[in-house]
Amino acid sequence: MYIDAHVHFWKLDRGDYGWLTPDKSVLYQDYLPEQLMASFNKYQVDQVIAVQAASTVEETRFLLTLAAQYPLIAGVVGWLDIADRDFLDVYEKLRSNPRFIGIRLGGAEIRCALEEKHGRRLSHIRQMAADEFNVDLLVRPADLPYVVQLLETVPLLRGVVNHLGSPLSAAETSAGQWAEGMKKVSAYPHVMCKLSGMITPAGGFHPERLRGYVKQLLEWFGTKRLMYGSDWPVALQAGSYEDVTRLFNEVLGSGLTDEQLDVLRCGNAERFYLRR
């Protein structure tokens, strides 16, 4: 069984997906839960975590509406403006919905929060940490020193690094920067990492391009702080849902027990996001 910890849904006519343009032919269409049902049944995907694809509160509410309609959506990682004076009010109202289980922060937002030192952004992150509220971290290797600085400042933050920390990012030239940053991040026991978003930067089903990174993450985080995520439908640019699932299992290698595989496929996401 799997819990897919990283799935996106969108409806283009909502109009707030600025990054989705017609030149992205595979992605420039609606993607909704019913389009995944066959794959979920085939690969025994029991539940999914829907993750923000637009930086608006309206999209967060849209995903929560979908979650109310589709029981397979176990939770929503949305977006809130941590610089907004009304953040706490919006945050508390959304938290009344049990499916609202996290927000996602990008590297630029983390840097701005640290630059303020005693500003609203950092205060709001501290509040989420105090509430044990989950924060997804969408970062590249160059952002990792700032993630480490954030964790030094807010050590109890419950975070999960998306997409392995993007070691294959075309914008980065130093694998050492990724390794140094992720090893330091792994020292914080409240932080996990998603084995997600792998097939797209790898250019398809190329486990050899990823195996070394996953091996290092297993050494640093262990099997109890890594989790499966497909990054559907973004992953469709490089392969099918079947390809994504095969790639995940292939990069793990053959040295893990059935129990360890179970926690990677579903147990860790269940524990982190759903508190079971």
Domain ranges of the chain: 2-7+36-50+101-274
Length in residues, the chain: 276
Residue 155's φ and ψ, nearest 5 degrees, are -65, -20
At position 137, the amino acid (one-letter code) is L
Q: How far apart are CA 99 and CA 273, in angstroms?
A: 10
Structure confidence at residue 118 (pLDDT): 73
Q: What is the DSSP string of 172-219?
A: ---HHHHHHHHHHHHTSTTEEEEE-S-HHHHTSS-GGGTHHHHHHHHH
Reduced to 3 states (helix: H, G, I; strand: E, B; else coil), residue 83 is: coil
At position 130, the amino acid (one-letter code) is A
At position 234, the amino acid (one-letter code) is V
Q: How far apart are CA 269 and CA 254, in angstroms?
A: 22
Structure confidence by residue, pLDDT tens digits, 89-143: 999 999 999 999 999 999 999 999 999 877 999 999 999 999 999 999 999 999 9
What average pLDDT does range 29-35 have in this prediction?
95
Cβ atoms of residues 7 and 49 within 8 Å: yes
Q: How far apart are CA 171 and CA 189, in angstroms?
A: 29
Q: How far apart are CA 271 and CA 269, in angstroms?
A: 5
At position 169, the amino acid (one-letter code) is S
Percent of the chain whose predicted confidence (pLDDT) is above 70: 98
Architecture of domain 2-7+36-50+101-274 in CATH? Alpha-Beta Barrel (3.20)
Structure confidence by residue, pLDDT tens digits, 3-19: 999 999 999 999 999 99
Structure confidence at residue 171 (pLDDT): 56
245 CB contacts (<8 Å, ≥6 apart)? Answer: 2, 43, 230
170 pLDDT higher than 60: no
Taking the CA atoms of residue 256, residue 259, residue 261 and residue 262 in that order, the dihedral angle to the nearest 10 degrees is: 180
275 pLDDT higher than 90: no
Dihedral-angle region of residue 166 (phi above 0 means left; psi in -120 to 50 means alpha; beta otherwise): left
Does the model's pTM come out above 0.75? yes
Q: How far apart are CA 139 and CA 162, in angstroms?
A: 7
- C-alpha neighbours within 13 Å on the C-beta side of residue 267: 10
Structure confidence by residue, pLDDT tens digits, 215-269: 999 999 999 999 999 999 999 999 999 999 999 999 998 899 999 999 999 999 9
Beta strands of 15-97 (E only): which ranges? 45-51, 73-78
Taking the CA atoms of residue 48, residue 126, residue 186 and residue 264 in that order, the dihedral angle to the nearest 10 degrees is: -20
